[in-house]
Amino acid sequence: MSALDDLVAAVLATPKYRAVCPDTVRRLGAAELARRSRPKAALKATKARLHQVFGAFDRALDYGRLLEELSTAHTSGDEGALRATCRAALACHASTRERLAILDRFYAEVFAVTGVPARVLDLACGLHPLAIPWMGLPREASYRACDLDGRAVAFLNRCGPLLGRDLEASHADILCSPPTGEADVAFLLKAAASLERQERGGALRVLEALRARHAVVSYPVASLGGRGKGMRENYEAGFRQMLRGRPWRVQRLPFATELAFVVTK
Ligand SMILES: C[S@@+](CC[C@H](N)C(=O)[O-])C[C@H]1O[C@@H](n2cnc3c(N)ncnc32)[C@H](O)[C@@H]1O
């Protein structure tokens, strides 16, 4: 076994990072091993980077209970109950919790620009597919999601029938395996900034590889700690700089709790 194999095995053996995509651990671990001569120091640094990418979010979710609640709501046939259960689940992650206040407008405004998609990609999805009941997608729409969090992915793969849509999630690192499927709309919600921190130019690389007519790229307007001074301006400046020289059309959609851009290729 190489030093990198050892590092990956050690990280994946820890309860906190057991569910992280092994490609992510390998990618971050290789970079840290290249920087440090001592494997122990590289292991520590890899865990610290994983904490930023993965561990800083509230992952202590009871997916089994969420699934039971969704199943009960689905069996009742009551659309209101299903939405209420999805809302409660979306409230479990900061990024989707912040979207609750704008759920009724978000997809209406995005799809007014893109048209209602029949093929959706949701990159670095977190729990976002649970917002499907607000999207107004056609019954036959396909929804392909991915995230490096294996527990969220396993959970989402059981949600499709409950949400009444063809939903499939894959456990993947989009910086290692950029998605290859075609789509009408690809969501890259509140993840571009993290991709840039993981790899300079990473978000643009993913956007360039996308085989989607429209990409919806968004940024948070407040930090996890609740502070938001200047975030909107800074993220917008970084986003515009990233797209400089690309022949893509950009439509800005400033929501109260999220700054979104529709990028049309
Ligand atoms: C702030 S959350 C946003 C979740 C969701 N897109 C939303 O806005 O509701 C960032 C998500 O990106 C995922 N992520 C970060 N880097 C990733 C990568 N390289 N490949 C796949 N997923 C990634 C994390 O696991 C996390 O679920």
For the chain, the domains span 3-55, 94-264
pLDDT of residue 1: 81
Name the DSSP letter for residue 132.
G
User: Using CA of residue 55, residue 57, residue 82, residue 189, what is the dihedral sign?
Assistant: negative
Q: Is 179:144 a contact under the CB 8 Å cutoff?
A: yes
Mutate to test the pocket of ligand 1, among 148, 218, 219 (most ligand atoms within 8 A of CB): 148
Residues 41-58 pLDDT 10s = 999 999 999 998 986 655
Please state, rounded to an integer, the average pLDDT across all residues of the chain: 94
Question: Do the beta carbons of residue 120 and residue 97 sit within 8 Å?
Answer: no
pLDDT value, residue 95: 86
The predicted pLDDT at position 54 comes to 82
Contact 134, 10 (CB under 8 A): no
Ligand 1 atom with the shortest distance to the CA of 53: 15
pLDDT of residue 93: 87
Query: Average pLDDT, stretch 116-129?
Result: 97
Q: Which residue has the higher pLDDT, 209 or 95?
A: 209
- How much is the average pLDDT of 83-89? 96
Q: From ligand 1's centre to the CA of 4, what distance in Å?
A: 24
Q: Which region holds residue 190: left if phi is over 0, alpha if psi is between -120 and 50, else beta?
A: left
Chain centre distance of CA 199: 16
3-class SS of residue 137 = coil
Between the CA of residue 214 and those of 84, 132, 247, 249, 251, what are the distances in Å? 29, 18, 13, 9, 10
Residue 64: which pLDDT band, with cuts at 50, 70 and 90?
very high
Instruction: Using pLDDT thresholds of 50, 70 and 90, give the confidence band for residue 127.
Output: very high
Separation CA 227–CA 57 (nearest Å): 16
pLDDT greater than 90 at residue 227: no
pLDDT digits (tens, 9 = 90+) for 159-200: 999 999 999 999 999 999 999 999 999 999 999 999 999 999
Question: Are 235 and 193 in contact, with CB atoms under 8 Å apart?
Answer: yes
Ligand 1 pocket check for 173: Cβ under 6 Å = yes
Q: What is the Cα–Cα distance from 245 to 234, expressed in whole angstroms?
A: 19
Asked if the 3-55 domain carries CATH number 2.30.30.60, the reply is no
What pLDDT digit, counting tens, does each position of 23-41 carry?
999 999 999 999 998 999 9
Report CA(113)–ligand 1 centroid distance (Å).
24
What confidence tens digit (pLDDT) does each residue in 95-122 have?
Answer: 899 999 999 999 999 999 999 999 999 9
Question: Per CATH, which fold does 94-264 belong to?
Answer: Rossmann fold (3.40.50)
Neighbours of 227 (CB within 10 A): 9
104-107 own/partner pairs: CB under 8 Å, 24+ apart: 104/134, 105/255, 106/131, 106/134, 106/255, 106/258, 106/260, 107/131, 107/134, 107/135, 107/136
Q: Can you give the pLDDT at residue 84?
A: 97
Q: Mutation test of ligand 1: which of 20, 50, 95 has the most ligand atoms closer than 8 Å to its C-beta?
A: 95
What is the pLDDT, as a whole number, of residue 143? 98
- Residue 134's pLDDT is what? 98
Those residues whose C-beta lies under 8 Å from the C-beta of residue 88, and which sit 6 or more positions away, are 69
Check: CB of residue 202 under 8 Å from CB of residue 180.
Answer: no
The answer to whether the CB of 170 is under 6 A from ligand 1 is no
Is residue 129's pLDDT more than 70? yes
